[in-house]
Amino acid sequence: MSPHEKKEGTENRKSGSLSRREFAKESAVILGICSGSVALSSDTVPITKASAVFTGVPMSQAAKTIRLTVNGWQYELQAEPDWALREVLRERLGLLSIKDMCNGHGACGSCTVIMNGRPILSCITLAAECDGANIETAECIAAANPRLVDAYVMNHCMQCGYCTPGFIVSAKALLDRIPEPTEGGIRDALGGNICRCGTYPQHILAIREVIGQNA
Ligand code: FES
Ligand code: FES
């Protein structure tokens, strides 16, 4: 960074504006990557969660009771037989990091969550079949892995940011499985995540930075 850039950043902070990196980090919070907030629906019984916002949704008699552990919190809730896990996590539990870029066709990776240690597409996974599952979403992953989030911000992995939570989930699943992946391994692991803004090379840089492979 040149002295000129440093001076600009200082002036920006003094005037209350944000530098590009600060803006990106703020955006990460706004996009729900770092947020831990949760809103629950009326038929959701938080076993250990203390606070909840309730909105009523009528259920059919075919609805099944399932138990999920999500980001370390245990929930007991009702799920209709045709509800996708994505619907339950985003619409019922309020986990807004889980996106939908392909209208639930399993083609974009923006709804990726980790279930029982493996990355899955929550839009094509039936919630009723997930009873007893342990699920991690980008909300807790970001909070528990600040180095990963920092590397994403520092390497400009976000343009619009819509795809970013799905990438972060896939990256975390990869690093859990293979602590020092090759570049090819990183490309394979992120291959199911689509970015309309074309940030693909930046994700490779970010993950390589986390594992100390960048020059
Ligand atoms: S929303 Fe596109 S793969 Fe799930
Ligand atoms: S940053 Fe815009 S879709 Fe990926």
Ligand 1 centre from 35 Cα, in Å? 21
Q: Which ligand ends up closest to the CA of 158?
A: 2
Q: Note the pTM of the prediction, 2 decimals.
A: 0.79
Residue 32 predicted with pLDDT over 80: no
Cα separation, 94 vs 70, whole angstroms: 12
Mean predicted confidence (pLDDT) in 56-70:
88
Burial category of 137 from C-beta neighbours within 10 Å (exposed 0-12, middle 13-18, buried 19 and up): buried
Give pLDDT, residue 143. 86
Q: Which ligand ends up closest to the CA of 108?
A: 1
Taking the chain, what is the end-to-end CA distance rounded to the nearest angstrom?
16
Residue 5 predicted with pLDDT over 90: no
Mean predicted confidence (pLDDT) in 13-23:
49
Give pLDDT, residue 58. 78
Does residue 89's CB lie within 6 angstroms of at least one atom of ligand 2?
Answer: no
The pLDDT mean for the chain works out to: 82
Does residue 161's CB lie within 6 angstroms of at least one atom of ligand 2?
Answer: yes
| All domains of the chain in start order, with CATH | 19-33+144-210 (1.10.150.120), 44-140 (3.10.20.30)
Residue 175 predicted with pLDDT over 80: yes
Ligand 2 centre from 179 Cα, in Å? 25
Give pLDDT, residue 67. 94
Q: In what order do the strands lie in the sheet with 73-79?
A: 44-46, 73-79, 64-70, 134-136, 112-115, 118-121
Residue 24 predicted with pLDDT over 70: no
Residue 40 predicted with pLDDT over 80: no
Share above pLDDT 90 across residues of the chain, in percent, rounded to a whole number? 68
Give pLDDT, residue 7. 37
Give pLDDT, residue 138. 96
Give Cα 13 distance to the centre of its chain. 29
Give pLDDT, residue 167. 97
Mean predicted confidence (pLDDT) in 128-149:
94
Residue 195 predicted with pLDDT over 60: yes
Report the atom number in ligand 1 closest to the C-alpha of 192: 3
Give pLDDT, residue 16. 46
**Which of 110, 121, 117, 148 lies closest to 133 in space, CA to CA?**
117
